[in-house]
Amino acid sequence: MCKRGSTYIVTHCNFFSLQHNAKVAVLGASGGIGQPLSLLLKNSPLVSELSLYDIAHTPGVAADLSHIETRATVTGYMGADQLGAALKGCEVVVIPAGVPRKPGMTRDDLFNTNATIVATLADACARHCPQAMICIISNPVNSTIPITSEVMKKHGVYNPNRVFGVTTLDIVRANTFVAELKGLDPARVNVPVVGGHAGKTIIPLISRCTPKVEFPADQLSALTGRIQEAGTEVVKAKAGAGSATLSMAYAGARFTFSLLDAMNGKEGVVECAFVRSEETECKYFSTPLLLGIIQCQSNNHKLKNGIEKNLGLGKLSVFEEKLVAEAMDELKGSIKNGEDFVANMK
């Protein structure tokens, strides 16, 4: 083991060992999600360096954020020629880059544009920070996670424990909507949401909500539908001015903070995310994940790993089992679209 400044590097296992300073990159930092997400990350004591990248306006966003009286240093990078520098030394990379949904568009309508953007950024991550935790917000997540994974495989650096599709907004919405209906504090409600991150692939497990709640069948069906179509609710309300940006930034920050907490050794950190999975017949599936660290067998050091354990689907109600079955074909199709996109890349 060698020491560089205050950071220890375990040379044999080739992972960073535990530390409380993290360099985090936001790719797409000038956009509707990227700016509020960067603001939330700048406000966190878990972040020591914030690296902001986009194709335009990033120096201004970085200058603005740099005046905030928190310890994270902020640097802006703009344009493809600065992407490598933006990623160098990053431990976590959050990617909200891409075009937003407009009224009438599905997440899959975004595929052609956002698939290329995500593939390009994943390629840069594979080259410049191959061991970073990669958190994908760019839609359609059901396809962009397979794209990211296949690109990382091409470079021989794919680690399924370190590539996450951020579905946290589905959990945040489920918590909020359940709390509204039951008169609860939403901060104390937790509804696991499994499956994917689009329409009927979003499967809230109301039967596993804490605290325990119950709804009549018609109200449960309506609640489930609202959670599944909540993104469309925002797109329509914004009337062509964009999609969910502020709530997505909050959810992206929540997931990033959970990941950083776990990387810093906090135990019992659980978040749902869309990841490579053996839990169902789909190659990728969102389930509750225990985030954390692993023991390096060669020298017994604790090392950052991302996913410590996939907690699986667990017990489902009959209603939820039906939702999972109905989601499979769409989910498989979206996954295949992502894999095929990378296979056909020149």
Residue by residue, DSSP assigns 169-190 as: HHHHHHHHHHHHHHT--GGG-B
**Catalytic center residues:** 197
In-domain check, residue 3: no
Domain endpoint, select from 136, 166, 196 = 166
Domain endpoint, select from 151, 166, 181 = 166
Calculate the alpha carbon distances from 170 to 64, 194, 267 in Å. 30, 9, 24
In-domain check, residue 199: yes
| Same-domain status, 144 and 248 | no
| Same-domain status, 287 and 230 | yes
Q: What is the pLDDT of residue 339?
A: 98
Q: What is the pLDDT of residue 344?
A: 96
The verdict on pTM exceeding 0.85 is: yes
Domain that holds residue 121: 22-166
CATH of the domain at 273: 3.90.110.10
Q: Which two structure tokens, joined as six digits, stand for 214?
A: 């119950």
Report the domain count for the chain: 2
Domain endpoint, select from 166, 189, 214 = 166
In-domain check, residue 15: no
- The ranges of the chain with pLDDT < 70 are 1-20, 107, 294-304
Q: What is the pLDDT of residue 17?
A: 37
Nearest to 279 by CA among 160, 170, 181: 160
| Same-domain status, 223 and 276 | yes
In-domain check, residue 77: yes
Q: What is the pLDDT of residue 273?
A: 98
Answer yes or no: are the C-beta atoms of 13 and 303 closer than 8 Å. Answer: yes
Q: What is the pLDDT of residue 302?
A: 57
Phi, psi of 31 (to 5 degrees): -85, -175
Tell whether the torsion through CA atoms of 107, 39, 130 and 134 is positive or negative: negative
> DSSP assignment, residue 70?
S
| Same-domain status, 151 and 177 | no
> What are the pLDDT digits (tens) for 268-306?
999 999 999 999 999 999 999 999 975 455 555 556 679
| Same-domain status, 274 and 332 | yes
